[in-house]
Chains A and B, each alone.
Chain A
Amino acid sequence: MKTLKYLTTSCYAAAIIGLSAASTYAAELEFYFPVGVNAPAVETIQALTDEWAAQNPQHTVKAIYAGNYVETTTKALTAANAGKPPQVAVLLSIDLFTLIEEDVILPISDIANTPEDQKWIDGFYDGFMKDAEFEGKTYAIPFQRSTPVYYYNKDAFRAAGLDPESPPKTWDEMIKIGKALTVKDDNGNVTQWGTRIPTLGLGGAWLFGGLVVSKGDVLTTETGIEARIDTPATIASLEFLLDLSEQGVMAPGGISWGDTPKAFLEGQTASMWTSTGNLAFIEKNATFDWGVGFLPGGDGPGAPIGGGNFYIFSDTTDEEREAALDFIKFMTAPENAATWSIATGYVAPRPDAWETPEMKAYSERLPQALVALDQLQYAEREFATFQRAKVTQYLVDAIESVVTGNSEPAAALKIAQEGADAVLSDYQ
Chain B
Amino acid sequence: MTHGLNRIMWSTLGIVLAALWGLPFVYSVWTAFHDEVYSANFVWNAPLTISNFFEAWKAAPFALYFMNTFLMITIVLIANLILCTLVAYAFVRYKFRWSGFLFALIMVQLLISPEILIVENYLTLSRLGMIDTILGIALPYLTSAFGIFLLRQTFMTVPISLDEAAQIEGASAWRILWDIYVPLAKPVYLAYALVSVSFHWNNFLWPLIVTNSPEVRPVTVGLSVFATVESGVEWSLVNAATLMTTAPLIIAFVLFQRQFVANFMRAGIK
Contact = CB atoms under 8 A, between A and B. Distances in A.
Is there a contact between chains A and B in the complex with CB atoms less than 8 Å apart?
yes
Interface of A: 35-39, 64-69, 71, 74-75, 78-79, 81-82, 146, 258-262, 266, 274-275, 277-278, 281, 285, 287, 345
A259 B234 CA distance: 9
B49 to A, nearest CB: 15
Contacts of A67: 212, 214, 217, 225
B232 A260 contact: yes
B37 A82 contact: no
Given A66-B212, A78-B131, 17 more contacts: A38-B232, A64-B213, A66-B213, A66-B214, A67-B214, A67-B225, A68-B228, A68-B229, A74-B212, A75-B213, A258-B232, A261-B233, A262-B39, A266-B40, A274-B232, A277-B231, A281-B231
B31 to A, nearest CB: 12
A111 B235 CA distance: 45
Centre residue among B39, B212, B217, B228 by max chain A CB count within 10 A: B212
Interface residues of B, number: 24
A191 to B, nearest CB: 13
B28 to A, nearest CB: 15
Nearest to A279: B231
Nearest to B41: A266
Contacts of B233: 38, 258-259, 261-262
Interface string B202-234: 000000000011100100000001001111111
A285 B37 CA distance: 8
A259 B238 CA distance: 13
7 nearest CB pairs, A to B: A261-B232, A36-B230, A75-B212, A258-B233, A37-B231, A278-B231, A67-B225
Contacts of B248: none
Interface SS of chain B: helix, strand, loop or mixed?
loop
Contacts of A36: 229-231
A66 B228 CA distance: 14
Nearest to B230: A36
Given A71-B212, A75-B212, A75-B213, A275 B230 contact: yes
B126 interface: yes
A69 B230 contact: yes
A285 B230 contact: no
20 contacts: A36-B229, A37-B230, A37-B231, A38-B59, A38-B233, A39-B231, A65-B214, A68-B230, A71-B225, A74-B212, A75-B132, A75-B213, A82-B129, A82-B131, A262-B39, A262-B40, A262-B233, A275-B230, A281-B234, A287-B37
Given A38-B231, A71-B225, A285 B212 contact: no
A380 B243 CA distance: 41
Contacts of A71: 212, 225
Interface of B: 36-37, 39-41, 59, 126, 129, 131-132, 212-214, 217, 225, 228-235, 237
Nearest to A258: B233
A55 B249 CA distance: 47
Contacts of B59: 38
Contacts of A69: 230
B33 to A, nearest CB: 18
A369 to B, nearest CB: 14
Contacts of B131: 78, 82
A80 to B, nearest CB: 12
Contacts of A146: 230
Given A64-B213, A65-B214, A285-B37, A78 B132 contact: yes
A266 B40 CA distance: 8
A38 B39 CA distance: 17
B176 to A, nearest CB: 46
A261 B225 CA distance: 19
B80 to A, nearest CB: 28
Contact of A277 (B36, B132, B217, B230): B230
A68 B226 CA distance: 9
Contacts of B237: 38
B167 to A, nearest CB: 51
Query: Considering residues B39, B41, B132, B229, which has the most beta carbons from chain A within 10 angstroms of its beta carbon?
Result: B229
B6 to A, nearest CB: 39
A260 B39 CA distance: 14
Contacts of B40: 262, 266
A146 B235 CA distance: 23
A68 B231 CA distance: 12
Contacts of A260: 232
A35 B61 CA distance: 13
Contacts of B129: 82
A232 B217 CA distance: 46
Contact of A68 (B36, B39, B225, B234): B225
Contacts of B234: 38, 281
B212 A278 contact: no
B258 to A, nearest CB: 40
Nearest to B234: A38
A65 B226 CA distance: 12
B224 to A, nearest CB: 9
B8 to A, nearest CB: 36
B55 to A, nearest CB: 10
A262 B237 CA distance: 13
A67 B61 CA distance: 11
A78 B41 contact: no
A67 B211 CA distance: 11
B242 to A, nearest CB: 15
Contacts of A278: 231-232
A68 B60 CA distance: 12
Contact of B231 (A64, A266, A287, A345): A345
A262 B41 CA distance: 12
A91 to B, nearest CB: 13
Contacts of B232: 38, 258-262, 274, 278, 281
Contacts of A66: 212-214
A253 B230 CA distance: 21
- Most chain B CB within 10 A, of A39, A71, A146, is at A71
**Residue among A37, A67, A75, A274 with the most chain B CB within 10 A?**
A67
A67 B235 CA distance: 19
Contacts of B212: 66-67, 71, 74-75, 78-79
